[in-house]
Structures are given as structure tokens and as C-alpha cells.
């Protein structure tokens, strides 16, 4: 049983980044617009799309206003997905930041309410995370130990980052253009410790897949091993290689 204490409902910032996402963005926006939780803001960062994405983004302004939900968006060139996410972080006013990118969505209209309208106090938690749904199947998050051998323990869209605790630590390192989400979560793990992570038994995100960090690539492997070498030394690097080979043989 959790020993977390009671807290008033915190304010959440949901951030979406997009680029030429006209075929995927509507379900994502609708998922956020229809949340029954009433204490959140929505920030949408577009990377200067050349298709109809921006027109779609503009068309939702009135709908968010009708529901009295703060809706802020920009469209401009950036240096990649994590640069765009950093822009969202700088604009965020909420205690908790969630990154729900195009193609993905909250599992239900009650998801934010289910996570935050509870008797538990998450004030001292740096990173709150749950499970994901992929093709109608729930996927459990991994043990936190997975971070030490180069794997993010959960789905990034199913995480909430406590900006009040993390402060300047809540920023993506642009040196890792593909696996920046792992670098951020691993950095939080190393700097704040296991006690500042809290898993909830809630499926938070419907995950479409196909994100930059979910697809095997040379750059992803390069990012991973550079991060492991930087934070865990040669032993951590070798452990990461071992688990990478083990995963391939499954």
C-alpha cells in the first residue's frame, strides 16, 4: 500500500509536438480536448508543417475556448523533436508535464482524472508513470533497473514529469537526437534516485508506435551506448551491449 499523502489536484501541462501530421493529429487533439479532468493546459508545438497540420491546429482554438481549457500553439522550424519538446517545457505552467505526441492518445476521457483525482500525494515524486496500450493490448512497464542497461522502463507518453521538483533538469539533451527520452529519464533516475519514481497501475496512453526512439537505427544505438558510457562507464557500456544482444536473440 502506498504511503503517499493527500494533495490538492495538481495542474497538468499536456504537450504535443507535430510535423506534417495531418493524418494523425486529430485523434490526439480530440483525446486531450475531451478529458474530464478540468485542471490542465494544452501546448502544441508544430515544426513548421507544410501540409494541413497547422490548419487543423488552428481549427481547434474555439473548441478549447468553449471548454475553458488553455490552448497555446506555435508553428516554427526547430532542431528536431526534442528541441520542440524543450520549447513546450519552457512554455509550461503546470506542475506536471506529459508529452502526448501526434498519433498517440490518452486511453480514455477519464485518464487524467484517474491519475490525479486521487487521495495520494505525488508532490515529492519526480516522475510518475503507468502502462501503455498497443493494438488493444496492455503492455506493462519494465523494472527501473532496465535504465541501467540502456532501456527506458516505460512508455514516454505514459509519463508525467514533476516540473516543480525537476526544475532545470527537465530538459532534453539535443546531443541525443533519437534516444533523448531515455537520456532524460535515466538522468532523473541517477540524479534523484529510485524513491522519486512512482508507478501507478493505470494504462495511460494508446501508443501508435513509429516514434523516433521506438525504431531500431544506427543513431539510436549510438545514442544509447554513448549515454551508457557517459553515465555508467565501460562496465555499464558492456552490460548494455550484452542486453542488446540478448534482446535481438529473443
- 246 or 35: which carries more pLDDT confidence? 35
- pTM score: 0.89
Does residue 225 fall inside a structural domain?
Answer: no
Does residue 237 fall inside a structural domain?
Answer: no
Does residue 226 fall inside a structural domain?
Answer: no
Does residue 249 fall inside a structural domain?
Answer: no
Does residue 247 fall inside a structural domain?
Answer: no
Contact (Cβ atoms closer than 8 angstroms) between residue 76 and residue 48: yes
Give the per-residue pLDDT at 225: 86
Domain count, the chain: 1
40: β partners? 12
Residue 188 has pLDDT above 80, yes or no: yes
- 6 or 18: which carries more pLDDT confidence? 18
**In angstroms, rounded to a whole number, what is the distance separating the alpha carbons of residues 68 and 70?**
7
pLDDT digits 0-9 by tens, 114-156? 999 876 789 999 999 999 999 999 999 999 999 998 999 999 9
- Half-sphere exposure (Cβ direction) of 133: Cα atoms closer than 13 Å: 15
Residue 246 has pLDDT above 70, yes or no: no
Query: For position 141, which CATH number holds?
Result: 3.90.550.10
**In angstroms, rounded to a whole number, what is the distance separating the alpha carbons of residues 13 and 11?**
7
Least confident of 2-6, 62-66, 128-132, 168-172: 2-6
Does residue 122 fall inside a structural domain?
Answer: yes
Residue 10 has pLDDT above 50, yes or no: no
Give the per-residue pLDDT at 7: 39
Give the per-residue pLDDT at 249: 60
Does residue 5 fall inside a structural domain?
Answer: no
Give the residue numbers spanning the domain of 36: 12-215
**In angstroms, rounded to a whole number, what is the distance separating the alpha carbons of residues 108 and 203?**
9
Residue 174 pLDDT class (50, 70, 90 cuts): very high
Does residue 207 fall inside a structural domain?
Answer: yes
**In angstroms, rounded to a whole number, what is the distance separating the alpha carbons of residues 113 and 25?**
22
Give the per-residue pLDDT at 242: 65
% pLDDT > 70, the chain: 89
Least confident of 1-10, 39-48, 95-104, 107-116: 1-10
Amino acid at each position: 500500500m502506498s504511503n503517499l499523502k493527500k494533495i490538492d489536484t495538481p495542474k497538468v501541462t499536456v504537450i504535443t509536438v507535430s510535423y506534417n501530421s495531418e493524418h494523425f493529429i486529430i485523434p490526439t487533439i480530440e483525446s486531450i480536448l475531451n478529458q474530464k479532468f478540468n485542471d490542465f493546459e494544452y501546448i502544441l508545438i508544430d515544426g513548421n508543417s507544410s501540409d494541413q497540420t497547422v490548419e487543423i491546429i488552428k481549427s481547434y482554438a474555439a473548441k478549447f475556448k468553449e471548454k475553458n481549457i488553455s490552448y497555446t500553439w506555435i508553428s516554427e522550424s526547430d532542431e528536431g523533436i526534442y528541441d520542440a519538446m524543450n520549447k513546450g517545457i519552457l512554455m509550461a505552467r503546470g506542475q506536471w508535464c506529459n508529452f502526448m505526441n501526434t498519433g498517440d492518445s490518452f486511453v480514455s476521457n477519464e485518464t487524467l482524472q484517474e491519475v490525479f483525482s486521487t487521495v495520494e500525494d505525488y508532490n515529492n515524486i519526480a516522475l510518475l508513470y503507468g502502462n501503455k496500450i498497443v493494438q488493444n493490448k496492455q503492455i506493462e512497464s519494465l523494472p527501473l533497473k532496465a535504465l541501467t542497461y540502456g532501456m527506458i522502463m516505460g512508455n514516454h507518453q505514459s509519463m508525467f514529469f514533476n516540473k516543480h521538483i525537476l526544475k532545470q533538469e527537465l530538459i532534453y539533451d539535443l546531443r541525443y537526437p533519437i534516444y533523448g527520452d531515455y537520456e532524460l529519464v535515466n538522468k532523473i533516475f541517477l540524479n534523484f534516485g529510485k524513491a522519486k519514481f512512482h508507478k501507478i497501475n493505470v494504462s495511460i496512453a494508446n501508443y501508435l508506435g513509429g516514434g523516433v526512439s521506438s525504431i531500431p537505427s544506427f543513431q539510436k544505438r549510438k545514442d544509447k551506448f554513448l549515454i551508457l558510457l557517459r553515465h555508467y562507464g565501460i562496465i555499464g557500456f558492456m552490460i548494455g551491449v550484452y542486453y542488446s544482444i540478448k534482446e535481438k536473440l529473443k
